[in-house]
Every structure is written in structure tokens, then in C-alpha cells.
Amino acid sequence: MVGAAEQPLARWRRTRGTLAGVSVDLIVSGIGMVSASATTSALCLLDPPDLLLNYGCAGAHRLDLGPGDVIIGDRVVHFSAQIVRPDGTRDYMGFDYVADGARVQTGSIPTAPELVALAQRCAAQVRLPAWPGYATMPSVHTGTVASADIWTQHSETILSLHDLHGSLCEEMEAAAIAQVAAIYGIPFLPVKDVSNNELLKATGGATERGWPSLGEQELEVGRRAAMLVEAI
């Protein structure tokens, strides 16, 4: 980024500069749906952008996706939006919001097709480094990104989410940003790289609170998604 300078956005860290002559704001939202929606809402209200790109890491929902692989999201789902029936069965609710004075009820929110196409073209030209310890180069896929404030490690649950939503991965921000972007009519695209595949190997607990941790490989998290976003 050329001419990078710190310009806080309300309570969030924002770095403003240019990439290839285009003005860019890099904003750190923090982890989770609330943080993502609050940051995006503040931006849309105080300094509306021409488009929104969200990058970060995700957990795979398919066996063939490995660490370092990149997901271009062409639609997003909010998989924790559900009704738990008296018998314990669960029904997915999807999104329910108001945009341009009209109520929108939908199972998923599509992302901007022109941004998806642009990301796909850029992916064909960007060489992404292999994940440490892996000999194969990362692959890039296009599909559904699932979001919730949940880290799913149970294999059967992951497979059921994939069967229900066709999701390639899960993370904790994209659906929140997508809904805010839809409300304000701003084109949006999520780009995520796979940091873990719980179908192949459960991420162990290593934090003080006993949460899963990627350890030293945390430095790799989001790196390849960032490289693709920079190319866009």
C-alpha cells in the first residue's frame, strides 16, 4: 500500500492508502458477527465505500480442501439462524432484513457477480505459496461461505452443514457483512483461505482458555486470501 496512514474509523483501526492508484481503506473489524456488522455499519454510515472486500481464514467443509486453499464466496449463509423445534429438530431460517423499504427474506445472500468474476481472473494470475509442510500449491475454489459465531469440529455436523447449504467453508464474519452491504446497496465479496480442515484433523486446544489454536501457523492465516484481495 502506497502512502499508508492511520485514519481511525470511529473505534476501529483503519489504514488508508492506495493500491495501483486506487484509494483503499484497510479496516480491522475483529473476530465475530457482531464486530463485523458494527464495523461495516460504521463505515457505510460515516464514509460509504464503492465496494466491500472481506478476507480472512476459514474451516473447510469438504474433505478435498486443505490449508492454504482459497475460497471465493459467490453467496453466503448464516448457519446459526435456526429454529430448534420441541422435538429437537432444527429448521434453517436464513436472513430477514429491510432494504430500500422492502422486507427481504432469503436463505442466502449472493455476492457481487462482477467481483466474483474479477477475483477468478486474478486468481488465475496470482501464484499463492504452499502452506508450510505441504508440497502442493494452494487451489482456488468458488462457492458458498457459511458464517456463525461457531467453530465446528464435529465431523458429522460439518458434513450436514455442507449437505444443507452446499458450503465450502465456515467462518465468523462474511454473512454479517453481506447483510449490511445488502441493506446499503454496496457490492460485496468475501475471500477466505482454509486454515483448518476438521474433517481430516481436529485442531487441538492450546490457548489459555482451552480453545483450539493453530500455533505457529497462525502467521499463515489469511495470508493467501490477502494476496488475492490485493490482486483484485
Scored b (16 or more CB within 10 A) or e, 116-131 reads beebeebbeeeebeeb
pLDDT of 201: 86
pLDDT at 28: 95
DSSP state of 40: H
Residue that has been written with the C-alpha cell 474451516 in this structure: 59
User: 0.85 exceeded by the pTM?
Assistant: yes
The domain locations on the chain are 54-231
Pick the CATH number of 54-231 from 3.40.50.1580, 3.40.640.10, 3.40.50.300, 3.10.310.70: 3.40.50.1580
Q: Cell numbers of 51, please? A: 465496494
Write out the E strands in 20-67: 22-28, 52-60
Q: What does each of the 232 residues of the chain score in pLDDT, given as a tens digit?
A: 899 999 999 999 999 999 989 999 999 999 999 999 999 999 999 999 999 999 999 999 999 999 999 999 999 999 999 999 999 999 999 999 999 999 999 999 999 999 999 999 999 999 999 998 888 899 999 999 999 999 999 999 999 999 999 999 999 999 999 999 999 999 999 999 999 999 998 887 666 666 666 777 788 999 999 999 999 9
